[in-house]
């Protein structure tokens, strides 16, 4: 059994930037220890308008794709749009690589997408695209986690896995009921001084280790608010486990796609510093509520700074 070391923990600092994480200019190189995030998923309908808004090339191609009558050409437009969406995400992964310390870890929660556009069905393997881009940037890919979500049930009628075929083979397809938590490392493993007190104070139990360091996580989301559903917020258990697994007390955790602020909230409770970037300013009141600013829960143990990128 590992002995827990009693230590005095310092105040933690949290910065929320309302801005675009494709350029995180106010984060210094090699100053972040862990990235925990979930981006907008390419080719999932709820994120179409965001991608069109942040990249006008996507918007223009989308218009052309909708007007195109030739199926093959249409398919080509769709693939071009898909590539561009990932290129936009890759700008963020590149920034994450720059700001991570040597041995720092990036955990990226992403789901694949299936989509029928004008009757053409296609699988978009987002997880594979993210791995491809991150490896090009220089990240080392570590074994990933499959987050099994029990909420996605097979569909029997209308659109969905069974497309009205009921119980008859062979034309149905498998339901996408897992998302990926991809894990990357920058460079070699992190180095610590022998018996580093903060590292020892951050240890997990044997039971936690056995449950967390396995490939399949069955996690049901807690009941979500309307705003959490709007941005597909992840349950707190996801950043909780990842922060405990891959950082130590006093480290800095970054979420470049902050959404409702879940990662910052959990970082506060786990005595890590944090930085969150969110492009949609309308989420600020929800973020403030989640991290305890509007409830005036701020204590001497942490402070939150909000910056609006110009
Ligand atoms: C899947 S949601 C994240 C949800 C978050 N994990 C939570 O628990 O609330 C993705 C978020 O990224 C934001 N976003 C998309 N592109 C961005 C960019 N370039 N810079 C900053 N935020 C961005 C979206 O507005 C959205 O809120």
Tens digit of pLDDT for each residue in 134-173? 999 999 999 999 999 875 555 544 456 666 667 888 888 8
Torsion of CA 258, 261, 263, 265, to 10 degrees: 160
Q: What is the mean pLDDT of residues 208-235?
A: 92
pLDDT value at residue 161: 64
Structure tokens at 159: 């659109």
Which residue ranges have their beta carbon within 6 Å of ligand 1? 20-22, 38-40, 50, 54, 231-234, 257, 259-260, 262, 277-280, 283
Q: Give me the percent of the chain exceeding a pLDDT of 70.
A: 90
Domains and CATH numbers, the chain: 12-308 (3.40.50.150)
Distance in Å, CA 277 to ligand 1 centroid: 8
Is 260:285 a contact under the CB 8 Å cutoff? Answer: no
Q: Which residues contact 183 (CB under 8 A, 6 or more apart)?
A: 105, 106, 107, 108, 141, 142, 143, 144, 145, 246
Structure tokens at 41: 């998923």
Tens digit of pLDDT for each residue in 253-303? 999 999 999 999 999 999 999 999 999 999 999 999 999 886 555 567 889
Distance CA 263, CA 256 (A): 10
Place of tokens 């398919």: 75
Distance CA 30, CA 137 (A): 15
The distance of Cα 5 from the centroid of its chain, to the nearest Å, equals 32
83 sits in which H/E element: helix 71-99
Question: Which numbered atom of ligand 1 lies nearest the CA of 277?
Answer: 21
Is 9:300 a contact under the CB 8 Å cutoff? Answer: no
Distance CA 63, CA 47 (A): 16
Burial of 104-123, coded b for 16+ CB within 10 Å and e otherwise, reads bbbbbbbbbbbeeeeeeeee
Distance CA 198, CA 196 (A): 6
Q: In this structure, which residue's CA is closest to atom 12 in ligand 1? A: 257
pLDDT value at residue 3: 46
Of 173, 153, 179, 182, nearest to 246 by C-alpha is: 182
Compare 75 and 5 and report the one with higher pLDDT: 75
pLDDT value at residue 292: 87
Compare 250 and 171 and report the one with higher pLDDT: 250
Question: Quick check: 1 pLDDT over 50?
Answer: no
Tens digit of pLDDT for each residue in 98-140? 999 999 999 999 999 999 876 778 999 999 999 999 999 999 9
Q: Which of 256, 258, 281 to mutate to test the pocket of ligand 1 (most atoms within 8 A of CB)?
A: 258
Is 286:261 a contact under the CB 8 Å cutoff? Answer: yes
Q: Which of 17, 23, 40 to mutate to test the pocket of ligand 1 (most atoms within 8 A of CB)?
A: 40
Indicate whether this model's pTM tops 0.85. Answer: yes
Using N-to-C axis directions, what is the helix angle for 71-99 and 126-137, rounded to 10°?
A: 50
Query: What value does the mean pLDDT of the chain take?
Result: 91
pLDDT value at residue 156: 47
Q: What is the mean pLDDT of residues 42-52?
A: 97
């Amino acid at each position: 059994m590992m002995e827990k070391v009693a230590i005095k923990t310092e105040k933690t600092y949290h910065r929320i930037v309302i801005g675009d994480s494709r350029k995180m200019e106010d984060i210094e190189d090699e100053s972040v220890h862990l990235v925990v995030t979930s981006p907008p998923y390419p080719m999932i309908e709820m994120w179409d308008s965001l991608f069109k808004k942040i990249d006008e090339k996507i918007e223009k191609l989308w218009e052309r794709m909708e007007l195109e009558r030739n199926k093959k050409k249409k398919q080509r437009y769709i693939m071009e749009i898909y590539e561009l969406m990932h290129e936009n995400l890759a700008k963020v992964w590149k920034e994450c690589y720059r700001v991570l310390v040597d041995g720092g870890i990036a955990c990226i929660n992403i789901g694949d997408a299936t989509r029928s556009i004008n009757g053409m069905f296609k699988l978009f393997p987002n997880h594979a695209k993210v791995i491809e881009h991150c490896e090009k940037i220089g990240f080392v890919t570590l074994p990933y986690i499959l987050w099994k979500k029990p909420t996605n049930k097979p569909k029997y009628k209308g659109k969905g896995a069974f497309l009205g075929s009921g119980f008859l083979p062979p034309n149905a397809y498998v339901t996408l009921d897992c998302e990926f938590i991809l894990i990357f490392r920058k460079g070699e493993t992190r180095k610590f001084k022998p018996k580093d007190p903060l590292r020892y104070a951050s240890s997990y139990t044997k039971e936690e280790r056995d449950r967390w360091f396995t490939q399949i996580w069955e996690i049901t989301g807690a009941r979500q608010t309307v705003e959490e559903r709007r941005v597909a917020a992840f349950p707190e258990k996801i950043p909780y486990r990842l922060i405990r697994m891959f950082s130590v007390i006093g480290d800095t955790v970054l979420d470049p796609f902050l959404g409702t602020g879940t990662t910052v909230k959990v970082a506060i409770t786990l005595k890590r510093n944090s930085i969150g970037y969110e492009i949609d300013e309308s989420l600020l009141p929800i973020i403030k509520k989640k991290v305890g600013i509007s409830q005036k829960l701020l204590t001497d143990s942490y402070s939150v700074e909000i910056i609006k990128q110009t």
